[in-house]
Amino acid sequence: MRSIVRGDRGRIGFLLPADGLTDDEYWSCLPDGVALLAARYLVAGGLSLDELESDTDIEPILGAVNLIRQAKADVAALADCAGAVVGGLEYERDLVERVEAKLGRPATSTPRAIAAALQALGARRIVLAAPYLDVVVERFGEFLTGFGIETVASKAIAFAAETEIAELGPEQWREIARDEDRPDADAVVLGGGGIRAAAALDAAERDIGKPVVAAPAALIWHASRLAGADATRSGLGSLFSACGTSPAGPAAGTGTGDGT
């Protein structure tokens, strides 16, 4: 008989900025038997380029790692999407390696998880829509290029704070995916660690006839696979329904992508 303790199939150490407001989005994507153990750290609290660059300080993140290490996490999931892409490929690789070294377990970041998800889906050309300034979305595309993924079109939805992002609901992200899709794209990526899109992923994919990858869902999928859990679930799009047991990596470009 299975244990009644949640996490008997995997324990994700969830590291997120203190201004994050959409923890429930991540919880809604958890596979059966996988636990989410959250630890927060302080950030500037805005989405300007200067504020996001200040959030690339690794030390507060490493402090949060101490908390999930005590909770015996199997994997670390870094939820700050904007900070990772603003820092760039080398920064993100160094961040993941330092978190892995401190935790003694694998780690992934949101943009790395998106790249791994696109690999699993066989998608190499994407449309990218994200709730950031143009310059941040441009860096997002450059980051994914390092994994062999081409951004054929992008949409910057310039919010000033996470509170604004959290007010946009799943049906609005569904509309964005439909409106921004292009025939030459293999998938649509909805970037941003603070978005709420999971409840509309199946419908969005029916609308456009291709995968729609949302950042929070991708992070939970990748972290679950790194922890060795089966991420297969219905209602969360093709990533979870068709790729629940796909390998977690490697994702070429910023290291192994699989915690080794």
Per-residue pLDDT, 249: 75
Buried b (16+ CB within 10 A) or exposed e, 28-41: bbbbebbbbbbbbb
Per-residue pLDDT, 257: 38
Per-residue pLDDT, 260: 31
The architecture (CATH level 2) of 113-216 comes to: 3-Layer(aba) Sandwich (3.40)
Do 113-216 and 10-109+217-233 fall under one CATH topology? yes
Per-residue pLDDT, 7: 86
> Degrees (nearest 5) of the Cα angle 50, 144, 216?
75
Domain map of the chain by residue range?
Answer: 10-109+217-233, 113-216
Per-residue pLDDT, 255: 41
> Degrees (nearest 5) of the Cα angle 30, 33, 34?
45
CATH class of the domain comprising 10-109+217-233: alpha beta
Q: Which of 74, 58, 108, 102 is nearest to 250 (CA)?
A: 108
Query: Which residues, in sequence order, are bridge partners of residue 127?
Result: 153, 188
| pTM (2 d.p.) | 0.94
In the chain, which stretches have pLDDT less than 70? Answer: 1-6, 250-260
CB 143 within 8 A of CB 31: no
Write the DSSP assignment of the chain as a string of letters.
---SSTTTTEEEEEEEETT---HHHHHTTPPTTEEEEEEEE------SHHHHHHTT-HHHHHHHHHHHHHTT-SEEEE--HHHHHHH-HHHHHHHHHHHHHHHTS-EEEHHHHHHHHHHHHT--EEEEEESS-HHHHHHHHHHHHTTT-EEEEEEE---SSHHHHHTS-HHHHHHHHHHH--TT-SEEEE--TT---GGGHHHHHHHHTS-EEEHHHHHHHHHHHHTT-----SSS-HHHHHSTTS-----TTSS-SS--
